[in-house]
Structure 1
Amino acid sequence: MKFLWFMLFSTIEGFAIYALSFYIFRLDMRRYLPHVVLMLLLVSFQNYVARDILALSAAAPIINLVLSTFFFVTIIRIPLVWSMVMVLTGYIGFAVLQTSLVFLSLGFISLDELQVYSWKAYILQALTGITGWLIGWILYKKRLGFTFDFEDLRFKWEKVLIPTLIAVILVGLAGMLYYRDLVVNLIGMFLTLIIFLVYSIKKETDELERR
């Protein structure tokens, strides 16, 4: 039974990540919904195996990022670098949202309690999934976010800069997870999200100037 609850709420939580990844970059997630559901089930199962069976909790987020990046490359047909940018934007946006929900709960949900009370973790996952999808959908309907031809937008230096930036961000996120300081985590994730959004704005501006 524990496995079924884990799969259900992890999948719901995952919708926030993918909704933000799709909708911030003006892609309609509904077109790929069956693929997204299957991918989220795969990611949830991978999380369960890594954390509950192999005791490799620290490795689970990295594996999720890799799997999701390959999903965007192979199924959605987005270039590798942009797939990494989209996936990381979704994960960071999700992290900001979930951390904000913990912060706004005013002590009802704490990081330590999530390890003890499964039902509180499930509530947080459900709230995050629903809120993340709703925010992404509103952005898409209001035509906010970024829309451009991924193939035509390649800076000469981005093949070196973006993987380096992603590596630094992953190390930073791992450090924040290790120290588990809520305020520091929230500030760090906001700064990281701003970096990716500024980069995306620069890309969109560059495309508009070419037209």
Structure 2
Amino acid sequence: MDLQSFFFREDLQLTAIVPFINIILFVLLFTVVMRIPLVWSAVISVMGYFAYVLLQVALVQLTFGYLSVNELTLHPEKGYLLQTISSVLGIGGSRVFYMLGGGFTFDFEKLRLKREAIYVYTLIGCALLLTIWLLYSGNTLIDVISVSIAFIFFAYYAVKKEKDR
């Protein structure tokens, strides 16, 4: 996935659609390899991607300009540093969350959705299109607000389904 991401960003100059392609590939991975229903694969993929975006935006803000978008553009090594810090914090935070009993344990097969799937597909599609548009606009405050709202919705949706079970 890193290789295709690099190819789309650097060789084809399609930076704005790389997140969409990555999410689609994650959905396919969960659906085909892990045998998770398509709707749940999409929910998991979008939640994970948006959580990672929020983590990176928080890191950029907390570095007070050292890892700003302009700095990342001028100094690619700072981008690698941001990726490394994000990965360490993301994986570490996920492990702690899991060790504290967090996560989803429901039986995906019992929770296959019917009419609800149409709404979820539509919402995921809208969230992905909004993400692509936001990348073109370049306004980080709007990015953070939009991604936060989408993440909160998907987290609420997934937790609600877990509790309904």
TM-score by length of 2: 0.94
Of 62, 66, 79, 1:108 maps to 66
Matched, 1:188 2:146: yes
Residue deviations 1:189-210 (CA, integer Å, cap 9, x gap)? 1111100011012201211xxx
Deviates more, 1:103-112 or 1:146-155: 146-155
User: Runs of 5+ in structure 1 lacking a partner?
Assistant: 1-42
Q: Whole-Å Cα distance in 1 between the matches of residues 126 and 24 of structure 2?
A: 16
User: Partner of 2:19 in structure 1?
Assistant: 61
Residue deviations 1:8-57 (CA, integer Å, cap 9, x gap)? xxxxxxxxxxxxxxxxxxxxxxxxxxxxxxxxxxx111011111111221
Q: What secondary structure sits across from 2:74 in the alignment?
A: coil
Q: Which runs of 4+ in 1 moved over 4 A?
A: none
Q: Alignment RMSD, CA only?
A: 1.2
Q: Whole-Å Cα distance in 2 between the matches of residues 120 and 98 of structure 1?
A: 12
Tell me, yes or no, if the aligned pair for 2:27 and 2:38 is still in contact at 8 Å: yes
| Matching of residues 77-156 of structure 1 within 5 Å | 77-156=35-114
Q: Whole-Å Cα distance in 2 between the matches of residues 107 and 47 of structure 1?
A: 26
Matched, 1:49 2:39: no
AA of the residue aligned to 1:183: L
Tell me, yes or no, if the aligned pair for 1:50 and 1:57 is still in contact at 8 Å: yes
TM-score by length of 1: 0.75
Q: Whole-Å Cα distance in 2 between the matches of residues 155 and 84 of structure 1?
A: 13
Of 163, 166, 185, 2:121 maps to 163
AA of the residue aligned to 1:197: A
Q: Whole-Å Cα distance in 1 between the matches of residues 27 and 33 of structure 2?
A: 10
Tell me, yes or no, if the aligned pair for 1:103 and 1:182 is still in contact at 8 Å: no
Q: Structure 1 residues 71, 155: CA separation in 2 closer, same or farther (over 3 Å shift)?
A: closer
Q: Structure 1 residues 136, 73: CA separation in 2 closer, same or farther (over 3 Å shift)?
A: same
Quote how far apart the aligned CAs of 1:129 are. 0.7
